[in-house]
Amino acid sequence: MADVERLTISSAGNTLEAELARPGGAPRIGVVLCHPHPQYGGTMRSIVIGALFAALPSLGATVLRFNFRGVEASTGTYDEGRGERDDARAAVQSLAATLAPATPLVLVGWSFGADMALSVLDPAVSAWVAIAPPLHFVADVGALAADPRRKLLTLAAHDEIRSPDEVITETSTWLATDIEVIPGASHFFVGRTDRLTEVVSTFVASFIGSGDSQP
pLDDT of 215 above 50: no
- pLDDT (0 to 100) of residue 212: 42
- pLDDT (0 to 100) of residue 149: 98
Q: Which residue has the higher pLDDT, 213 or 197?
A: 197
- pLDDT (0 to 100) of residue 211: 43
CATH T-level fold of 3-205: Rossmann fold (3.40.50)
Average pLDDT over residues 97-112: 97
Q: Domain coordinates of the chain in residue numbers?
A: 3-205
Average pLDDT over residues 180-204: 98
3-class secondary-structure state, position 109: strand
Give the pLDDT band (50/70/90) at residue 2: confident
For the stretch 114-131, pLDDT in tens is 999 999 999 999 999 999
For the stretch 20-41, pLDDT in tens is 999 989 999 999 999 999 999 9
- pLDDT (0 to 100) of residue 1: 56
Q: What is the 8-class DSSP label of residue 193? A: H
- pLDDT (0 to 100) of residue 125: 98
Is 205 within 8 Å of 59 (Cβ atoms)? yes
Percent over 70 (pLDDT), the chain: 96
- pLDDT (0 to 100) of residue 3: 85
- pLDDT (0 to 100) of residue 82: 97
Average pLDDT over residues 54-80: 98
For the stretch 53-66, pLDDT in tens is 999 999 999 999 99
The whole-chain average pLDDT of the chain stands at: 95
Percent over 90 (pLDDT), the chain: 94
Burial class (CB in 10 A: 0-12, 13-18, 19+), 169: exposed
What is the distance between the alpha carbons of residues 10 and 144, in angstroms, rounded to a whole number?
25
Side-chain half-sphere exposure of 84, counting CA atoms within 13 A? 31
Range in 2-16, 41-55, 157-171, 198-212 the model is least confident about: 198-212
pLDDT of 101 above 70: yes
Q: What is the pTM of this model?
A: 0.96
